[in-house]
């Protein structure tokens, strides 16, 4: 077994403490990787390993995140009115007299899992500095990128030959909730077809215009306006298109309205703009712009933490990392978000 430089130094220190004699520690060590030494007995210096930054999941940063244990998660919403909408100003109590009457709606979603398998040569792990940490961090970012795409683009109702976003094994994507003039809860029950809510959707045709953003803001319910967590979410190319709008009039240039930091389209009408590369740009049949109070609109439920296990005996000379992440995501309050449909 190869003795590392650290082990040689520690061994030398122990020896000089016990004997009181001068000890010479030989730091010349051939690399664990064949041919990586430069000359006889030499050793190539490996700088700290790193991975290029991946595009993580912007939805996770602003949505409600909870932890749970189980094979599924159920969501319950109170609906309807308890007070009489005809005349609530009396001493008379009439059970369930509201319009609509008080009720609850439920929906249940199964736990979804993302997995990865990564074999690593033991010689590489002994040679390359910071490799373990770089691998773990990159895997976490890779999982975040995978879940982020599924939360927007995946159709959990239909199987597909394209399984990168999960299809029936993936999350329920924002783009596959029902479009409607007014928001509404989906059907109540425990089937996978329940809980597909309707999201208030403003339609547009042609290129994105200033008035499209103005009209979408009007659709956003006013009870959410003053709450923390309100934000626009759109593709970086959509942000570019808004910045590049020609001047219709001086007041209709985004560089002159809504931004307090001098950056065009960093904020729109007081709400921050979050770039999300998983959301489509303007095109037929997609949703290029979302505006929501994200902590109320979306909930992400994680099963504990991401699990990483190293197995040393899977293949000689290799350590194999097995990684797993389990979660559920859903639109929790369909009234807390609106979107723009490109037709």
User: Do 151 and 178 belong to one domain?
Assistant: yes
Q: What's the rounded Cα separation, in Å, for the pair 336 and 343? A: 23
First-to-last CA distance in the chain? Answer: 66
Residue 90 lies in a domain: no
CB 237 within 8 A of CB 281: yes
Q: Which domain holds residue 16?
A: 1-45
Beta pairing, strands 286-293 & 298-303: unpaired
7 and 63 part of one domain: no
Q: Quick check: bond before 100 cis, omega within 30? A: yes
Residues 267 and 177 in one domain: yes
Q: What's the CATH code of the domain at 170?
A: 3.90.1690
Residue 111 φ/ψ region, left for φ over 0, alpha for ψ in the -120 to 50 degree band, beta for the rest: beta
Per-residue pLDDT of the chain (343 residues), as tens digits, is: 455 556 666 777 777 777 767 777 665 555 555 554 555 555 666 666 767 777 789 999 999 999 998 899 999 999 888 777 777 787 877 665 666 777 899 999 999 999 988 888 777 777 777 787 788 888 888 989 999 999 999 999 988 766 889 999 999 999 999 999 999 999 999 999 999 999 999 998 888 888 899 999 999 999 999 999 999 999 999 988 888 776 554 345 565 555 555 556 788 888 999 999 999 998 877 999 999 999 999 999 999 877 888 787 667 778 888 889 999 999 999 999 999 999 8
Q: What is the pTM of this model?
A: 0.81
Residues 259 and 133 in one domain: yes
Residue 151 sits in the same domain as residue 278: yes
- In which residue are the tokens 């082990």 written? 7
Considering the domain architecture, whether residues 15 and 64 belong to the same structural domain is answered as: no
Closest to 78 measured CA to CA, from 90, 96, 65: 96
| Surface-to-core class of residue 176, CB atoms within 10 Å of its CB (0-12 exposed, 13-18 middle, 19+ buried) | middle
Q: Count up the domains in the chain and report the number.
A: 2
219 CB neighbour count, 10 Å cutoff? 16
Q: How far is CA 159 from CA 135, 156, 166, 284, in A?
A: 32, 8, 9, 22
- 119 and 29 both lie in a single domain: no
Are residues 121 and 32 both part of a single domain?
A: no
- One domain for residues 154 and 202: yes
């Amino acid at each position: 077994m190869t003795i590392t430089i650290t082990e040689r130094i520690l061994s030398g220190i122990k020896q000089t403490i016990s004997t009181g004699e001068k000890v010479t520690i030989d730091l010349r060590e051939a690399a664990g990787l064949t041919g990586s030494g430069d000359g006889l007995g030499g050793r190539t210096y490996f700088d700290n390993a790193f991975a290029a930054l991946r595009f993580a999941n912007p939805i996770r940063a602003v949505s409600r995140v909870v932890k749970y244990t189980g094979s599924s998660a159920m969501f319950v919403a109170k609906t309807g009115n308890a007070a009489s909408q005809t005349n609530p100003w009396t001493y008379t109590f009439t059970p369930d007299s509201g319009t609509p009457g008080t009720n609850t709606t439920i929906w249940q979603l199964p736990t979804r899992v993302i997995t990865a398998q990564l074999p690593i040569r033991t010689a590489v792990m002994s040679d390359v500095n910071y490799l373990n940490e770089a691998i773990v961090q990159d895997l976490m970012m890779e999982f975040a990128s995978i879940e982020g795409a599924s939360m927007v683009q995946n159709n959990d109702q239909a199987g597909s030959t394209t399984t990168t976003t999960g299809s029936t094994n993936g999350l329920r994507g924002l783009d596959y909730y029902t479009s409607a003039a007014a928001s509404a809860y989906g059907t109540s029950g425990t089937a996978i077809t329940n809980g597909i809510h309707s999201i208030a959707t403003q339609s547009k045709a042609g290129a994105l215009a200033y008035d499209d953003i103005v009209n979408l803001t009007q659709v956003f319910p006013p009870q959410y306006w003053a709450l923390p967590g309100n934000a626009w979410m759109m593709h970086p190319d959509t942000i570019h298109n808004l910045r590049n709008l020609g001047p219709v009039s001086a007041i209709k240039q985004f560089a002159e309205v809504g931004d307090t930091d001098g950056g065009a389209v960093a904020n729109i009408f007081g709400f921050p703009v979050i770039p999300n590369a998983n959301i489509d740009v303007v095109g037929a049949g997609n949703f290029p712009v979302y505006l929501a109070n994200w902590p109320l609109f979306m909930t992400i439920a994680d099963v504990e933490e991401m699990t990483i296990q190293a197995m040393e005996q899977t293949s000689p000379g290799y350590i194999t990392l097995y990684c797993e992440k389990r979660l559920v995501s859903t639109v929790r309050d369909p009234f807390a978000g609106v979107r723009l449909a490109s037709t």
